[in-house]
Amino acid sequence: MQIQSDSKPYDDINVTPMLDLAYVLLIIFIVMTTATVQGMKVNLPKASAAPSLSQQTTKAITVGNDGKIFLDTIPVTLAELEQRLVQQKALTPEFPVVLRGDAQTQYQNVMDVLDLLGRLSITQVGLATKPLVK
């Protein structure tokens, strides 16, 4: 008497879960590598294409159209900004700063921040602009 079994050994490996995991990891990698400098949303002026600063611990200073100043996303006064930049300079003497000024803000507000950066001897300063659309 011979016993027949209806169960058959698996010949194939189901790779669908492995592909799902690979796609999720790919999406996470794409999102993490395309992250930009944090800051408040402002209407940036237009300029020609130029090389940007490296993304190493970059600080974003935003001057809104109402004259409010933000360090990354935190609202600060000019005195608080100076204090926080002095602390950052003590940790990292050569850190880049990106200044994002709204196109509608008064020029004096941006100049006040630039003067502060000059007094603190912060030399790696970039002005964020939109690329010129042709």
Of the pLDDT bands very low, low, confident and very high (cuts 50, 70, 90), residue 119 is very high
In a domain, 32, yes or no: no
130-131 vs 46-47, strand pairing mode: parallel
In a domain, 34, yes or no: no
pLDDT at 83: 93
Where do runs of H (alpha helix) occur along 34-102? 78-91
| 91: amino acid identity, one letter | L
Residue with tokens 């602390």: 87
Into how many domains does the chain fold?
1
Residues 74/94, Cβ–Cβ less than 8 Å: no
pLDDT in tens, 45-86: 777 665 554 445 788 899 988 889 999 889 999 999 999 999
User: Which structural domain, as residue segments, surrounds residue 85?
Assistant: 46-131
pLDDT at 54: 44
Of the pLDDT bands very low, low, confident and very high (cuts 50, 70, 90), residue 123 is confident
In a domain, 105, yes or no: yes
